[in-house]
């Protein structure tokens, strides 16, 4: 019996039991749709996090003082003064894998303009900080190296600061704001970046020359941290090794001594976040995959019922020359048709559900071709796997006993 005839017989058998066939497909439809939707959510979250980390500076390197022990008490890194301007200058001059370096000092307090005020943090940096953190000037100018040399009381502010201190919509350029009673003239505003993946408002920022914050606000000579940007993301590891060597030499640390500084990169954060999202995606897909297993069991159950109902038909076919392989193929094709049809409908429902989630809930989703192919392949294998045993049982029936079956 050729494959075309077997296909016709299988289609006719399914057409005779439309409702039963549809209910059997339902488990496969739900399973495939769930897998595609969950993988789309997982991949969308992963891409969103990677995109936001990239906006923060995917090749960002942060150098901070290390904690230390004094009198048996471990001090926090914020209270240490191990980073000096000479460290920043050495890193700037001696590294080969960095394209931008900025010292960073900051202070928190109340920011006042006229009758408006808000709590905030002012960051003392140099012009390279814009490139390092992917900021750009929207209006006005960035302060210059001359402003740094003279410790000028000028600043650049983010959109959130502008909105809260200038609610009437007036142009902030040239206006004087006060931070801890110290006047700062606004010379530029930053383009909006919104919130990052950690929920922090990247527009709630004030940038000023680091020398101004050191001398006029904090009255310190050391720096609190150094931010740098590698030439490319793939050079981050070499840049970290190079910075470590320079700082150890500057701090006169012996080979056995522990570092008195910490170096962190966005590559570490990106790797950690990617690993976490991949794990969550696998977990979601596994939970959704249980629906496919249930659907497969449903196929096996219905095929058993079908074999039982058509025992006499099987006996008649075998008595007029149908081989065991023909009977096996007939029932196996039926189970594969159920799973493939259910899989195709499930793919459409899964893609639709993912788009609906994105449109209604505004949750990031990413439907990739491999997830659709994988789901469809799994449902096909499910049909073969769960349809094999009932089909094999039908093929092994004794023709005489099958004809006599009531």
Higher pLDDT, 64 or 291: 64
Q: What is the mean pLDDT of residues 282-303?
A: 75
Asked whether the beta carbons of 156 and 209 are under 8 A apart, the reply is no
Better pLDDT: 16 or 192: 192
Q: Between 148 and 374, whose confidence is greater?
A: 148
Residue 91 lies in a domain: yes
Q: Is residue 62 part of a domain?
A: no
Q: Are residues 379 and 287 in the same domain?
A: yes
What is the maximal distance between C-alpha atoms in the chain? 106
Q: Is the model's pLDDT at 120 over the cut of 80?
A: yes
- Prediction pTM value: 0.62
- The pLDDT, as a whole number, for residue 156 is 96
Q: What are phi and psi of 321, to 5 degrees?
A: 115, -5
Point out the domain boundary residue: 226, 259, 292.
259
Nearest to 350 by CA among 309, 398, 301, 289: 289
The predicted pLDDT at position 141 comes to: 94
In a domain, 368, yes or no: yes
Whether residue 151 sits in one domain with residue 105: yes
Q: Give 393's contacts (C-beta < 8 A, 6+ positions apart).
A: 304, 307
Looking at residue 55, its pLDDT comes to: 60
What pLDDT score was predicted for residue 72?
46
Residue range of the domain that includes 369: 3-52+272-403
Going by their DSSP bridges, the two strands 182-190 and 137-140 should be labelled as: antiparallel
Highest mean pLDDT among 181-185, 298-302, 327-331: 181-185
Q: Give 81-95 pLDDT, tens digit per residue.
A: 789 999 999 999 998
Angle between helices 18-57 and 369-395 (to 10 degrees): 150
Residues 232 and 135 in one domain: yes
Residue 210: what pLDDT? 96
Last-in-domain residue among 259, 294, 323: 259
Boundary-marking domain end, from 259, 281, 312:
259
The residue whose two tokens read 């990031």 is 364
Q: How many domains does the chain have?
A: 2
Residue 264 within any structural domain of the chain: no
Please tell me the predicted confidence (pLDDT) of residue 73. Answer: 47
pLDDT in tens, 159-174: 999 999 999 889 999 9
Same domain, 133 and 227: yes
Share of the chain above pLDDT 90, in %: 31
Residue 251 domain-assigned (yes or no): yes
Same domain, 246 and 282: no
Query: Does position 58 have pLDDT exceeding 50, yes or no?
Result: yes
Q: What is the share, in percent, of the chain residues with pLDDT greater than 70?
A: 84
Give me the residues paired with residue 124 across strands: 105, 208
**304 and 373 part of one domain:** yes
First to last CA, the chain: 26
366 assigned to some structural domain: yes
Determine the Cα–Cα distance for residues 20 and 301; give it in Å rounded to an integer: 11
pLDDT at res. 404: 60
The set of residues, in sequence order, having a beta carbon less than 8 Å from that of 54 and lying 6+ positions away, is: none
Which are the contacts of 32, defined by CB distance < 8 A and separation ≥ 6?
292, 342, 343, 346, 347, 349, 350, 375, 376, 378, 379
Could you tell me if residue 231 is inside a domain? yes
């Amino acid at each position: 019996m050729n494959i075309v005839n077997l296909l016709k017989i299988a289609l006719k058998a399914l057409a005779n039991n439309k409702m039963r066939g549809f209910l059997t497909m339902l488990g496969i439809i739900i399973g495939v749709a769930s897998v595609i939707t969950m993988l789309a959510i997982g991949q969308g979250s992963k891409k969103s996090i990677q995109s936001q980390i990239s906006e923060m500076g995917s090749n960002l390197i942060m150098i901070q003082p290390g904690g230390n022990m004094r009198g048996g008490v471990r001090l926090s890194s914020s209270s240490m003064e191990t980073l000096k301007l000479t460290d920043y200058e050495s890193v700037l001059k001696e590294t080969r894998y960095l394209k931008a370096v900025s010292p960073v000092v900051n202070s928190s307090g109340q920011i006042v303009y006229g009758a408006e005020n808000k709590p905030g943090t002012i960051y003392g940096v140099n012009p390279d900080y814009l490139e390092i953190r992917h900021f750009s000037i929207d209006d006005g100018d960035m302060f210059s190296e001359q402003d740094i040399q003279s410790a000028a009381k000028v600043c650049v502010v983010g959109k959130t600061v502008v909105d809260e201190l200038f609610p009437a919509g007036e142009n902030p350029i040239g206006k004087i704001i006060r931070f801890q009673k110290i006047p700062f003239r606004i010379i530029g505003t930053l383009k909006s970046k919104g919130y990052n993946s950690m929920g922090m408002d990247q527009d709630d920022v004030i940038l000023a020359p680091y020398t101004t914050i050191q001398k006029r606000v904090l009255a310190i000579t050391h720096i609190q941290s150094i931010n740098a940007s590698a030439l490319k993301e793939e050079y981050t590891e070499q840049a970290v090794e190079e910075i470590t060597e320079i700082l150890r030499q500057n701090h006169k640390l012996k080979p056995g001594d522990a570092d008195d500084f910490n170096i962190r990169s966005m590559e570490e954060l990106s790797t950690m976040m990617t690993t976490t999202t991949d794990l969550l995606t696998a977990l979601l897909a596994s939970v959704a995959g249980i629906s496919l297993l249930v659907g497969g069991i449903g196929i096996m159950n219905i095929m058993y019922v079908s074999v039982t109902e058509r025992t006499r038909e099987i006996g008649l076919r075998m008595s007029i020359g149908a081989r065991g392989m023909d009977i096996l193929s007939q029932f196996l094709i039926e189970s594969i048709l159920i799973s493939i049809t259910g899989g195709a409908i499930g793919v459409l429902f899964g893609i639709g559900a993912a788009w609906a989630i994105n449109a209604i809930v505004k949750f990031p989703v990413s439907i990739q071709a491999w997830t659709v192919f994988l789901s469809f392949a799994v449902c096909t294998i499910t049909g073969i796997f769960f349809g094999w045993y009932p089909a094999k049982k039908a093929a092994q029936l004794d023709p005489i006993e099958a004809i006599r079956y009531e």
